Amino acid sequence: SVGSVAGSVSGTPSSAVSLTSSSLPGQTPELTALFECPVCFDYVLPPILQCQAGHLVCNLCRQKLSCCPTCRGPLTPSIRNLAMEKVASTLPFPCKYSSAGCLLNLHHSEKPDHEEVCEFRPYTCPCPGATCKWHGSLEAVMPHLMHVHKSITTLQGEDIVFLATDINLPGAVDWVMMQSCFNHHFMLVLEKQEKYEGHQQFFAVVLLIGTRKQAENFAYRLELNGNRRRLTWEATPRSIHDGVAVAIMNSDCLVFDTTIAHLFADNGNLGINVTISMC
């Protein structure tokens, strides 16, 4: 199968052992509730600062406020509450995605790192660029793509050709396509960035519309082939929970510059052979 996609201009989990309520006998939800931020209802975690009257607000919300949300008093000068910090160090705090199904209770030092990679964290739209602000459950990702991003081509099969047209378009450009096989959907992304003036780089990666654990069951191969040359990249697909930006930041993708792209392009169009396999 061959798909043609037009370009468009676009703008570890913690290794520590999690604590459970049963591992800290005598602790109650009422005690944990004392640490709820009155603004965002997340937890106020160390370092814990208070207003002059003793009211708490989380550090993230505090940066956006000009006065205490409880008493309207001044938030400056900052007063650190060491006693509450000691209490917080003895408590297990539920993951912020507990209402979505996460059952973990964590020490406050583990909580931020876990929530960055929690599988119950809402999924954002996997399309590259920042124009679409949608987020929702994993099951809702494909319906969202089919309803809102109808222009994305979808091809069936384990071996397809991803044809990116007009690779000489100026500025930052993304080419996106979907591939369906093994009862899963994969998103193919080719992104062009200008690292510095006059030097552009291409990044090609495959994302699974699924969890990180599901992604470990697959492998993909990208191949540029033509003019008696071949360039191949093989890797495990990233989950859309990670996204294109994380893959590019970690160089976990096929990377090539404009000069190499032109070696394989035909009249400004670049074909990438994509093969998905099960491990």
Domains of the chain, with CATH numbers? Answer: 29-90 (3.30.40.10), 152-278 (2.60.210.10)
Quick: pLDDT tens for 63-98: 999 999 999 999 988 899 999 999 999 999 999 888
37 in Cβ contact with 57 (< 8 Å):
yes
**Of residues 268, 195, 254, the one with CA closest to residue 223:** 254
The average pLDDT across 135-151 equals 92
d(CA 188, CA 177): 5
pLDDT recorded at residue 28: 63
Alpha-carbon gap, residue 167 to 242, rounded angstroms: 25
Please check the confidence at residue 164 and state whether its pLDDT lies above 80. Answer: yes
Identify any residues that bridge with 50 across adjacent strands, giving them in sequence order.
Answer: 56, 79
pLDDT, residue 77, reads: 87
- Element holding 105 (H helix, E strand): strand 105-106
Contact 226, 254 (CB under 8 A): no
For the chain, percent of residues with pLDDT exceeding 70: 89
Q: What is the DSSP letter of 209?
A: S
The mean per-residue pLDDT over the stretch 143-156 comes to 93
Q: Please determine, for residue 43, whether its predicted confidence score (pLDDT) is greater than 70.
A: yes
From 30-34, 46-50, 144-148, 158-162, the region with the lowest mean pLDDT: 30-34
Global confidence as pTM: 0.70
The mean of the pLDDT values for the chain is 87
Q: What average pLDDT does this structure show over 115-134? A: 86
Q: Is 33 helix (H, G, I), strand (E, B) or coil?
A: helix
- Residue whose structure tokens are 């408590």: 91
Q: What is the pLDDT of residues 171-214, one digit of tens each?
A: 889 999 999 999 999 999 999 998 767 788 999 999 999 998 99
pLDDT per residue over 213-244, tens digit each?
999 999 999 999 988 899 999 999 999 988 89
- 13-39: average pLDDT: 60
